[in-house]
Amino acid sequence: MVTSIGADSVKVYTVNGAASGSASSLPDWLTRKRAARGKGKRAVREQVEGSIDLIQHFEFPEASNRIRTTRDGRFAVATGVYKPQMRVYDLHQLTMKFERHSDAENVDFVILSDDWTKTLHLQNDRTIEVHNQSGFLYRTRIPRFGRALAYHFPSCDALVSASGSEVYRLNLDQGRFMNPLQLQSDGEAEIEGVNAIDINPAHQLFTFGLSGTGTAQFWDPRSRTRVGVLQLPSSQLLPPMPTAGTDNALSITSLASRSDGLSLAVGTSTGHTLLYDLRSMAPFATKDQGYGLPVQCLTWIEGGSQMAGDGLVVSADKKVVKIWDRNDASSNFASVTPATDVNHVHHVPGSGMLMLANEGISMTSYYIPQLGPAPKWCSFLDNITEEMEDQTVRNVYEDFKFIEKSELSRMGLDHLIGTPALRPYMHGYFMQLKLYDAARMITNPFAYEEHREKLVKEKMDKLSESRIRARKDGPKFNKALAERIRREEEREAKKAERKKARQSNGDEDVEMDAEETPAKEKANLLNDSRFKAMFENPEFQVDESSREFGLLNPSTVASKRKTAVEEEDEEASRASSEDILGEKSDSESDSGSEDSSDAGDLDQYNPRTTAKAPRKAYTPIPPGRKAHQPKMVSLRADTAGGGSGSRRGGKDASFGERRQSFGRKSAGQSKSEVWEGAMETSWVPSSNQQDEEGSGRRQRPKSRNGEKYGGTMEKGGRNDDDQEESLRKGRTKRRTGVRSGSKNVFRQMG
């Protein structure tokens, strides 16, 4: 069930057929064929799936001509093509009861009985057919092509209007034609035909709407004479400048009398509906359909106190169905624009349902709750519509584009005005979206490329905004200070935005400070012209390594200062790298060097230091002050013989002394047995000493209590109880005679 909303928020529910306001460029039969095969587009599937079928098989193979309900309200009778046929629907069962074919297309029909069993049909081949419950009963012909059909129950006369000035009377009680009614024209214009017939339900007055003269004649059924003529105001209804190829004569196309016996609705060929009181010659209300098409159907909506829409009028042309109040014709109660051209409109008495016969396959049914209740045979519609009150309403002009008349002229589509391709609305027209796109591509072939370039540009702009750009307008000097100021500004701006968002959400406790308002920009060093030179002149560069900067910014200096552990690690790594880079060559080792234990040797300038540390002159110890001499191990061997022999080979000998003593060439050793510097030694363990001596390998040097292997490395050099105790329990006393690595020692030396 698809819902559409009128101008006054009146909801119109489509319970059969296509939704109001929807349109498709494809034929109805092709739409159904694609939907049945499952190959339809989204719009096609939406049109089929978004609607419901209140009455099953409520359709014709091609189009429908007329539709009416019986007086008992149980059945609906409709005619259509192709092939020409009549279908009867059982409304209580919500399905088709039967269908009956005929030889010619139906023009109009009337239901003679309270149910569907007796009907009278006017065909387009100048024949009149009578049908009963069993089927076709009788057929007769009239001299001219018929236009309208009515039945007078008191006299059993069937009135048939045709293209001439005569109205034929067929008496169904006697089964023969009676003398026709001869209509005479009072003016110079001749009567081209009788387009409409109406019989007043109150006093049975005949009303005939004439073609070509713009008049309506009233006849008394008792005397079968004319009792009055109604002349329409042609000067007000006809256009002042008629278009070429159109008939400038005014014609009456439809008539409808109200049950009160005094009101008459007249529809004209110009699309106007006039309401008359039979006691007056001037209309008391005039309604324009807006399309300039002939009014095809008029109906008075009546229902007494049970109908909310009592006193309303339904007028319909091929394009639109309008429901409006007889006392106020300037506004519409509801307006329905079907998807296909309208042929006939029938209002179900005492309800808010309208049935339409149209040029589409499916006949259409609309239910308007504000117009009246649902019929008894579909009372469940009231419950369904109440549940749909809160649902989203589909846009009536979803597949259309609104364009103004100036744009229409610029696109060269002025010739479409007045055609089904354009729907007038306010100061412009509604055009199908596909037609608009095609016309725009023809007038501007590069529209797609321009649109694509616009989309690409918008996408690139969004990507560029999301990137992090380097500030090209940044200061040349004091960049760290400028960046810190910018970060503080951004932080303050975000804080102000959060406060503003909380305040807009209803938090009354949050109040924005005056200085945080976006209208007032906060002054800082960057936007103050007095401090401009601070970021442009190198003389104002801030020295972050100075003592004044450290006192003013202790947190910044503390974040850059290294810890004691980091400084010790850095000094240790630097000392090890310097020892490796400053290692003596082989020639310097042979010439010898002084012992490192000589007084003042460590205080002198070390030539092996790198260029990172500046040269520092030697400062002698002032007299009267005794320098602290830590007990240290020399790093160089005593080649001059200054050291004791026991130290050179003992445990207190340094690594350099052991290396020099071990590396010298002694008597009885060949050149290949003297090792200088690092060396590689390999051996194979053996069970006894004889195997090792007979193997021809180099003998491992012996110590008095253990073995020596490699350069000055020994195992088991000590054999005393203290050594065994230290190996088992670990060292318990502080080492003596070793080099101290404390920085305080070096500081006291200076």
Q: Taking a C-beta distance cutoff of 8 angstroms, is the pair 117, 133 a contact?
A: yes
Q: Taking a C-beta distance cutoff of 8 angstroms, is the pair 208, 251 a contact?
A: no
In total, how many domains does the chain have?
2
pLDDT interval class at 41 (50, 70, 90)? very low
For the four alpha carbons of 180, 185, 191 and 194, in that order, the dihedral sign comes to negative
Distance CA 383, CA 375 (A): 13
pLDDT interval class at 390 (50, 70, 90)? low
Q: Kindly give the interhelix angle for 42-49 and 28-37, rounded to the nearest 10 degrees.
A: 90
pLDDT interval class at 590 (50, 70, 90)? very low
Are residue 405 and residue 386 in the same domain, yes or no?
no
What mean pLDDT is predicted for residues 555-559? 71
Are residue 60 and residue 191 in the same domain, yes or no?
yes
pLDDT tops 80 at residue 601: no
Are residue 346 and residue 420 in the same domain, yes or no?
no
Q: So what's the pLDDT on residue 477?
A: 80
Helix (H) or strand (E) holding 404: strand 400-404
Residue 273 forms part of a structural domain: yes
| Pairing mode of beta strands 272-277, 285-288 | antiparallel
In this predicted structure, which of 43-47, 412-416, 437-441, 678-682 has the lowest mean pLDDT? 43-47
Are residue 384 and residue 405 in the same domain, yes or no?
no
Distance CA 113, CA 149 (A): 16
Are residue 234 and residue 283 in the same domain, yes or no?
yes
Q: Which domain holds residue 360?
A: 2-390
Domain boundary among 370, 390, 410: 390
What mean pLDDT is predicted for residues 194-222? 91
User: What is the per-residue pLDDT across 218-264, written as a single tens digit (0 to 9) for each?
Assistant: 999 999 999 999 999 888 888 776 655 566 788 999 999 998 889 99
Q: What angle do CA 122, 125, 131 make, to 5 degrees?
A: 40
Distance CA 4, CA 690 (A): 117
Q: So what's the pLDDT on residue 606?
A: 52
10 vs 363, residue with greater confidence: 363
Are residue 264 and residue 347 in the same domain, yes or no?
yes
pLDDT tops 60 at residue 602: no
User: What is the per-residue pLDDT across 718-735, written as a single tens digit (0 to 9) for each?
Assistant: 555 555 566 666 666 666
**Torsion, CA 658, CA 662, CA 664, CA 667, rounded to 10:** 140
In this predicted structure, which of 217-226, 264-273, 401-410, 568-577 has the lowest mean pLDDT? 568-577
Are residue 328 and residue 410 in the same domain, yes or no?
no
| Range 532-560 burial, b when 16+ CB lie within 10 A, else e | eebbeeeeeeeeeeeeeeeeeeeeebeee
Helix, coil or strand: residue 381: helix
Q: So what's the pLDDT on residue 257?
A: 93
Please give the full DSSP string across 516-561, using - where no structure is assigned.
Answer: GSTTSPPP-TTT-GGGGGGGT-GGG---TTSHHHHHH-HHHHHHHS
Are residue 125 and residue 261 in the same domain, yes or no?
yes
Are residue 82 and residue 118 in the same domain, yes or no?
yes
Helix (H), strand (E), coil (C) string for 711-730: CCCEECCCCCHHHHHHHHHC
Residue 97 forms part of a structural domain: yes
- CATH of residue 62: 2.130.10.10
- The one-letter amino acid at 657: E
Are residue 404 and residue 436 in the same domain, yes or no?
yes
Enumerate residues 6+ apart whose C-beta is below 8 A from 178. 157, 169, 170, 171
Q: Cis (ω within 30 of 0) for the bond into 82?
A: yes
For the chain, state the CA radius of gyration: 57
| Range 193-207 burial, b when 16+ CB lie within 10 A, else e | bbbbbbbbeeeebbb
Q: So what's the pLDDT on residue 373?
A: 87
pLDDT tops 50 at residue 276: yes
Residue 159 forms part of a structural domain: yes
Are residue 314 and residue 364 in the same domain, yes or no?
yes
Are residue 91 and residue 47 in the same domain, yes or no?
yes
Residue 12 forms part of a structural domain: yes
**Residue carrying structure tokens 């006054």:** 8
Q: Taking a C-beta distance cutoff of 8 angstroms, is the pair 191, 212 a contact?
A: yes
**Residue carrying structure tokens 């009246």:** 372
pLDDT tops 80 at residue 610: no
Residue 306 forms part of a structural domain: yes
Q: So what's the pLDDT on residue 159?
A: 94
Neighbours of 611 (CB within 10 A): 6
User: What is the per-residue pLDDT across 669-690, written as a single tens digit (0 to 9) for each?
Assistant: 544 444 444 555 565 665 554 4
pTM listed for this prediction: 0.52
Residue 544 forms part of a structural domain: no
Name the strands in the sheet holding 106-111, side by side, starting at the edge strand that comes first in the sequence.
106-111, 119-123, 127-131, 136-141
Residue 229 forms part of a structural domain: yes
pLDDT above 70 coverage of the chain, percent: 63
Domain boundary among 361, 390, 419: 390
Q: So what's the pLDDT on residue 522?
A: 62
pLDDT tops 50 at residue 381: yes
In this predicted structure, which of 299-308, 356-365, 441-450, 740-749 has the lowest mean pLDDT? 740-749
Closest by Cα among 625, 620, 583 to 603? 620
Segment of 48-52, 141-145, 413-417, 713-717 carrying the highest mean pLDDT: 141-145
Domain boundary among 443, 478, 504: 443
Residue 750 forms part of a structural domain: no
pLDDT interval class at 40 (50, 70, 90)? very low
